[in-house]
Structure 1
Amino acid sequence: ILCGDFEQTEKYAEKNVFYYLDPPYRPLTETSTFTSYSSNGFDDIEQIRLRNFCNRISEYKSIFIESNSDPQNVNTSDLFFDKLYEVFNIKRVSATRVINSKGNSRGSISEIMISNIKDIHKYERF
């Protein structure tokens, strides 16, 4: 387990090494406040950097699953992740929110699972 930038783990990438990537989720609204685990933030440029990392570790035949927010929860025409990860597999999954500053915002929401696993859609649960 490492504490640091995800790119520091690339030196471990090889066949059958598994990566679970759980970056700060892309904000769904203007008022979403948590976007980073550090003071540097995690904006769309960082999301693109993460996708580039996924491209590289896939070349080593490493396996990855990444979770992130599904922007289509609030804007059905927002294809940011669909386009960014178009060479990978995306599965939308239902996630339950039990913690939220607004009680009426708790409940089920769609999240995305992005992976280089070809048959990710056959898995009902992770």
Structure 2
Amino acid sequence: MMEKTHMSQSRFTQAEWRDLFEQQKKSELTVPQFCQKIGVSTTRFYHHRQRASHPPEKRSEPAAPSAFIKVSPAQEKPASPSALPILFETQQGTLRFPAGTDKHVIIAIIRGITA
């Protein structure tokens, strides 16, 4: 049988916890009996036993670079006079043309409306 020893439960390595799990199995004691005998709380024992049975996944290769790129919003600049839409008031309504519309297109549309 095991000797009763009081162990500091806060500083066990993973290998020491594995040894304790093996000792508990071989001792034929229940977990609470074993924990009381060695001075470890059952909560801590079960916690470390679960962690040992489900170790965190280790990545063997570095993570792939992200497909995302960092984008910053464009700074809003006041519209320059050449970027403002072109507006024409007519009897039929207001004609609005985007900035940079060719003047020949505008003339053709106005002539078509007034014909």
- Fold match, TM over 0.5? no
* TM category, shorter: under 0.3
User: Where is the strand percentage greater, Structure 1 or Structure 2?
Assistant: 1
Which protein shows a greater Rg? Answer: 2
| Highest RCO, 1 vs 2 (Cα 8 Å, sep ≥ 6) | 1
